[in-house]
Structure 1
Amino acid sequence: MKLAVNVIKLMALALLVAVLVHPLKSEAAVNTSAPDLTMTIGNVKGYVGDTVDVPVKINKPNKGIAAYGVELNYDSSALEVVGIKEGYGSGDTAACSQNKEGCFWSSYDNSKGYLRTAWADTTAGDHPITETTTLFTVEFKIKDGKKLGANPLTVDSSNKESLSFSDVSNHPLNVEVENGQLTTAKSSNADLSSLQLSNGKLTPAFSKTVDTYKASVAHSVDSISIATKAEDAHSTVTINGKPATDQYSLETGDNTFKINVQAQDGTSKDYTIKVTREKDQTTVNNQTDSGKGTHASTGTSQTDSSNGTHVKTLPKTGDDSYIDRYLNIGIGAVTAAILITLVIYYRKKRMTQD
């Protein structure tokens, strides 16, 4: 008995290999009776450069499926198969004969635009497919070409060599095929998914729907980096009209950065950041002290910093020292003249009284 089972397994494996090379001929392809099951190829959308999954499924069959072979056609000028993942069965050729879900094989030819899959129950009919399931999933890469729109994914059910399903008695099953398509387009997504500064905090907080921001940094920060990430990996991002760089120099005051996102289809969106670099506080403090009339040194001449008038001090003798004192406290020239007149007047009056 064990020998018989092993023989059946070997026969099933040989059948699968033969199907991949040349699909089974089955009368199911031209059978006009009610279908035993329906096989559905997915309808999927994707953008240029993306890799998308297209599932191939069946509904609950009227009879258990013991084996199948499928050839699926696609436009190789627009699509490229990068992989086929089994949904039911094992793709491990070394151990699949021990798997109760049976063995799955696949192959494809991107130069001719077709793929082939085959499956068999290696338990001699003990574990046929009896429920709704995904048979396999095709990974397609959308080529960067001019051919956009609907790309048919079809199984030629009129060709006896393109479709074969059989039951546990090796009788053909009638299969209805619902062909699918992969609709390709260029993305119009020109949004950023993230925006960060190496210094300073964006105000308001980043949101892809907000396009204007402000930030401030200390005077000690003389450069900044801007990290951007487009929501669509195929979009192009520039800052101030050029590709992003590691660092951007900052001038004291306002610095404006315009970030442009260009989508695949030409859609464009701008984000703006105004980064304010604070003034040097040391310079600001010195200017404030100068405005108050404070001088670092004294001499025979001074400049009245409040109005820029240049005055000359008088010799510090007797009451003249008061005149010099008034001139050196940083008051205006007019006020100084009045004070000088008053001092001279009262000095003469005192001398007269004496």
Structure 2
Amino acid sequence: MKIIKKILAFFNILVICGCFLSVINANAEESASVLISSANGVVGEKINITVTINASEDIGGAFIYVSYDNTIIKPTSGSNSGVIRYEFTDGKSYGMNESLTQEFEIIGVGTTTLSVTGDSRIVSINNERESISSSSSGKVTAKAPASYSSDNTLKSLQISPGTLSPAFSPDRTTYNATVDADVTELVVSAVANDNAAKVSISGRRMDPGSNTTTITVTAEDGSVKRYIIYTTKLGDGQEATTEAESKTEAVTEDASQTVNNDGTVTIDGRKYSIVQDYSGITIPEGYQEADYDYNGQKINAVKGIKTGFILMYLEGEDGKGGFYIYDESAKTFLPYNTVAEPEITYVVLPITNSLEKPAGYALTKFTMNGKEVQVLMDADRQYCLFYGVSSLGEKGWFRYRVSDGTIQAYSVVKSDTANADVKADNGKTSGNNRFWLTIVLILGLIIAAFIVITIVLCTKLAKVKKVFNMASKDGVDLDEYTEKVIDGYAEDEDDSYEELDTSSDKISYGDDKSGKSDVEELKLFDVEDDK
């Protein structure tokens, strides 16, 4: 009976493990991802955008909602709401990979990102609704035909109340103005030089202190020019300053930079205005628009999600500009220079005297990604070190290989960067690793249980074999005895029958299982003394 119980217990373990594996497989395999294609074209052309679902099991159906800029593209059928639905619900049998294509028409110049939005869920995987585990966005870049005009200038610009200083000129993009304390809104009249160009105005509300009004002119071909008016709203009882006084500059900690009273900033002799309208500007990846308190005035800046950097777009009087890093402690602007490897971007920062510099390198200037930056160069000019911050949020020294442009973290941050890379890779495979590790552990437990049970059975078999050998030698019929008595007989070290040959020819083995108090007796075969 004991052997049978052990065998049954072993099979119970196998059944439980099998059920557990089934649950793990079900949980691990129920996943799906969505891929959206990209396209390029010219205004007036038609393009196709394909949505592909990759699932671990057969797809029962899906509704995939995709957002887009309805001023750049529109579906050739249906409404142009800015969101289109891809329906995988025609009742046919879907496999693990399915695609659906929609046709769009390009109606405007620019770039739009197409991404999954709203309640996009896999309707059925293993008869259950499952959320999309990951999705990749598509992009449509729309260009203007050669016949489109590139004229993005203004023909006239006027404000009320107040006057522009200096007088308006189509080629000048920055102006100053002053209004009284009772003015709540600046009235702006801006007329484009080309009738096909579009004009938009932001920042008309006048708050006490400095105000920025931006006039954005978008040409027919999509090129953009911005005119900026810096308006000072006087306080109660305050008189307007003269033009000479308004040009007084406050010098910052960095002697090469000055912040002007009109809100502009002078860097290395060039005057820049801070742009707050990013509609026609490509924001660096990993950054997003955010409100920022700049010199007591709330402005629209760009903030790094992981780096924490504050970026502002500075535009010169010639209309050219770019992003700059705003140093909050020093209140100065630093050039925003980047170098990149696949999946990681590095912001290159200036090397200051306060930094602890590694030995064996010389401070010099080096061109990276088309821009001149400060680096530490080794004697052989095979490697250089730059100080910066990665898109993973790691700050420190990084080593740049001159021959192929590969980048590695240097010194104490090397292990951190390596760990970050490993984590990025592990993030994609951790689910699979856990799944297979669980399987290995369960198989190990099953094998261990099998070994233990095998040892027990072999021990039992050896014991039974010994009993039969002894019984055969002594001429004993084992069917006449209980398992307890036989076990005692088998444990007799002298291999004799004395364990059963007691003073009586009957053996008492205790009360029966029914609870009776009487003792059953088993009669023994007569055994000759010489045996």
TM-score normalized by structure 2?
A: 0.22
**Which structure exhibits the higher relative contact order, with contacts defined as CA atoms closer than 8 Å and separated by 6 or more residues?**
1
Q: Looking at CA atoms only, which structure, 1 or 2, has the larger radius of gyration?
A: 1
